[in-house]
């Protein structure tokens, strides 16, 4: 150190993740270091504040990622629909599939990130279950929308109709059963852990 300034000790927070004595606290008494209760009373609030700060940083990161995802999806959709309107060589609105797929990616992003950013509640729905049920719902929504895009439309007389075989029911029935089993298992695990 050529500046001639004294070397400062490394703060306890950098070493252990908490401060033994907050910077704003008065100097500790002689009995402080032998008193475990006083030590833990200072460490717990600092750990809680650090956890809150980490949670806020995590939420900012998630929000930034989601906003960037939405921005990219919006730009891609604007480009695809602009090309469709400029070229207008086909009457079939093929960009709807691009819009559908990119919108699904946003919903998948939300479904898979949201449960892990929500605060934990004692006795609440487990995060893994929220994520799995969200993906089951998203999968069912996807197959029913594909069926609607390909089987529904307007006929010559004008009314809207949906025809054809309702094949998405073969996705909805087993995934609905699986969702019920998962909820039952989660409830059973919660009850067994309380015993």
Quote the distance between the C-alpha of residue 123 and its chain's center: 20
Cα dist. 13→29, 43, 122 in Å? 20, 10, 29
Whole-number Å distance between alpha carbons of 126 and 120: 8
Looking at residue 59, its pLDDT comes to: 83
Instruction: Quote the pTM value.
Output: 0.64
Which residues of the chain fall below pLDDT 50?
1, 10-22, 32
What is residue 67's predicted lDDT score, i.e. its pLDDT?
93
């Amino acid at each position: 150190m050529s500046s001639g300034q004294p070397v400062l000790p490394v703060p306890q927070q950098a070493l252990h993740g908490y401060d033994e004595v907050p910077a704003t606290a008065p100097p500790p008494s002689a009995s402080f270091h032998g008193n475990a209760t006083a030590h833990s009373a200072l460490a717990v609030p600092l750990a809680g504040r650090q956890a809150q700060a980490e949670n806020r940083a995590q939420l900012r990161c998630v929000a930034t990622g989601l906003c960037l995802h939405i921005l990219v999806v919006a730009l891609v959709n604007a480009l695809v629909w602009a090309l469709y309107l400029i070229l207008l060589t086909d009457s079939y609105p093929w960009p709807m599939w691009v819009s559908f797929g990119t919108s699904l990616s946003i919903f998948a992003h939300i479904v898979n990130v949201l449960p892990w950013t929500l605060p934990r509640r004692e006795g609440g729905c487990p995060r893994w279950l929220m994520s799995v049920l969200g993906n089951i719902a998203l999968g069912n929504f996807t197959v029913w929308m594909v069926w609607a895009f390909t089987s529904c439309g307007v006929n010559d007389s004008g009314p809207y109709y949906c025809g054809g075989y309702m094949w998405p029911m073969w996705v909805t029935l087993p995934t609905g059963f699986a969702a019920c089993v998962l909820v039952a298992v989660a409830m059973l695990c919660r009850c067994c852990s309380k015993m």
